Amino acid sequence: MKRMLLAAVAVLAACGETVPEAKVPPAAKPALSVAIVQPQTLDWPQTFTAGGNVAAWQEAIIGPELANQRIVEVRASVGDVVARGQVLARIAPETVDSELAETRAGVAEAAAALAEARASLERARQLRDKGFYSAQQLTQAQAGAETAQARVEAAKARQNSAGLRKAKAEILAPDAGIVSARSATVGATVQPGQELFRLIRGGRLEWRAEVGAADLSRLHPGTPALVTTPAGEHIEGKVRVVAPTVDARTHTALVYVDLPADAAQRISAGMFARGEFRLGVRPAVTVPQAAVLLREGFAYVFRVEGGKVQQLKVTPGRRVDDRVEISGLDPTARVVAGGVGFLADGDTVRVVDSEAKPGK
């Protein structure tokens, strides 16, 4: 039989016919080895971020109440922590001292006149009882005593006014706080209403966050906030008040966040800072970030079924550490844990232990 086949081949070759080659099936594409994970449902904090400036909670402007007086001493400078009633500066006291001395003399003079008027009234009463004074004369003596009493009261009022002016020769801190600005200099002549110092009351700062109108309803007084300083430090605060109006141009509103008393040591008024508001916790379906493929502006995960992968479009959300919240994914799905950049929809895979590093 073999000889007959060889002969047939020889005959075909002699006649110029080609012998068809045997077809070899293509080699199968090797399967990728992948680790799989199941989404985990975790209670994650619900937050959103905002930016804004740090400012003084309240800022007091301190100036003199005397006119055309000269500063003779300045006792406070920018950055000083001062107590309520502490002397910040002193004004030349000579003028107010002389005014006070003059008013004291006026009180003494009025008091002497009052004593004389009262003595005259007493004599008038005695003489009236003896029939030597008429009723009209007694009335005049009584009026003189009352007038002298009124003059004493007026003199005392002028003395009190002069005493107040003398007290105002010392510029005092109206409250405890931190001196944020100073324009007072020795030798300068002051006028009422002139700014000499600026004081951050209580040393308290606040973060004025600019929040979009859509997020305002999520905030209320007492909502925790975490402010990040330009140096990377974190300061915890709480919402004090949400502004009742929204800027018509930017569609944002200010949210005032109280910062702790020691915040002034880590951040300064006028700085821009970013922060986040913490709105409590909410369950989140999460997967490792390595399980998410970003391609052409969309996010995908690969679900494993029957030895093949199916590419699923998902929506990423919050991120905490190395995990990301995913919307649009069945919590019971088995997804590829990593190496998703090597996969395509419909690829055959070989599942290995979830602890193994995925690869070919």
List pLDDT tens digits, range 12-64.
Answer: 444 444 445 545 455 445 568 888 888 988 888 888 899 999 999 999 999 99
Residue 9 pLDDT more than 50?
A: no
- Beta carbons within 8 Å of 142's beta carbon, 6+ residues apart: 121, 124
Using an 8 Å Cβ cutoff, are 100 and 209 in contact?
no
Strands 272-288 and 323-327: antiparallel
Residue with tokens 């920018």: 78
Using an 8 Å Cβ cutoff, are 88 and 101 in contact?
no
Q: Please report the pLDDT score of residue 349 as a whole number.
A: 86
What tokens were used for 272? 């821009």
Using an 8 Å Cβ cutoff, are 1 and 320 in contact?
no
What tokens were used for 220? 């209320």
Average pLDDT value for residue range 325-345 = 87
Q: Determine which helix (DSSP H) or strand (DSSP E) holds 28, and give its type and residue range.
A: none
What is the amino acid identity at position 207? W
Q: Which fold has domain 59-86+174-202?
A: OB fold (Dihydrolipoamide Acetyltransferase, E2P) (2.40.50)
How many angstroms separate the CA atoms of 44 and 322, rounded?
13
- Beta carbons within 8 Å of 158's beta carbon, 6+ residues apart: 103, 106, 107
Q: Determine which helix (DSSP H) or strand (DSSP E) holds 119, and give its type and residue range.
A: helix 94-129
Residue with tokens 């929204």: 246
Q: Which fold has domain 93-168?
A: Helix Hairpins (1.10.287)
Q: How confident is the model at residue 129 (pLDDT cuts 50, 70, 90)?
A: confident
What tokens were used for 110? 């009025």
* SS3 at position 322: coil
Q: Poorest-confidence range of 254-263, 308-317, 350-359?
A: 350-359
Residue boundaries of the structural domains of the chain: 32-44+283-352, 49-58+203-281, 59-86+174-202, 93-168
Average pLDDT value for residue range 115-140 = 77
Average pLDDT value for residue range 318-345 = 87
List pLDDT tens digits, range 150-171.
Answer: 888 888 888 887 777 777 888 9
DSSP string for residues in 266-286: T--TT-EEEEEEEEEEEEEEE
List pLDDT tens digits, range 90-123.
Answer: 988 877 777 778 888 888 888 888 888 888 777 7
Residue 138 pLDDT more than 90?
A: no
- The average confidence (pLDDT) of the chain is 84
Q: Report which listed range, 121-130, 155-164, 260-269, is most confident.
A: 260-269
Q: Please report the pLDDT score of residue 23 as a whole number.
A: 53
With 0-12 / 13-18 / 19 or more C-beta atoms within 10 angstroms meaning exposed / middle / buried, residue 11 is: exposed
Q: Please report the pLDDT score of residue 234 as a whole number.
A: 93
Residue 76 pLDDT more than 90?
A: yes
Q: Please report the pLDDT score of residue 353 as a whole number.
A: 66
Look up the CATH architecture of domain 49-58+203-281. Beta Barrel (2.40)
Q: Please report the pLDDT score of residue 89 as a whole number.
A: 93
DSSP state for residue 359 in the 8-state scheme? B
Residue with tokens 């821009």: 272
- What are the residues facing 236 on neighbouring strands? 226
Q: How confident is the model at residue 292 (pLDDT cuts 50, 70, 90)?
A: very high
How many angstroms separate the CA atoms of 34 and 335, rounded?
10
Query: CATH number of the domain at 32-44+283-352, please?
Result: 2.40.420.20
In the chain, the percentage of residues whose pLDDT exceeds 70 is 89
Using an 8 Å Cβ cutoff, are 292 and 328 in contact?
no
Q: Please report the pLDDT score of residue 13 as a whole number.
A: 44
Of the two residues 12 and 278, the one the predictor is more confident about is 278
Q: Please report the pLDDT score of residue 26 as a whole number.
A: 52
Residue 147 pLDDT more than 70?
A: yes
Mutual angle of helices 94-129 and 135-167, in 10-degree steps? 160
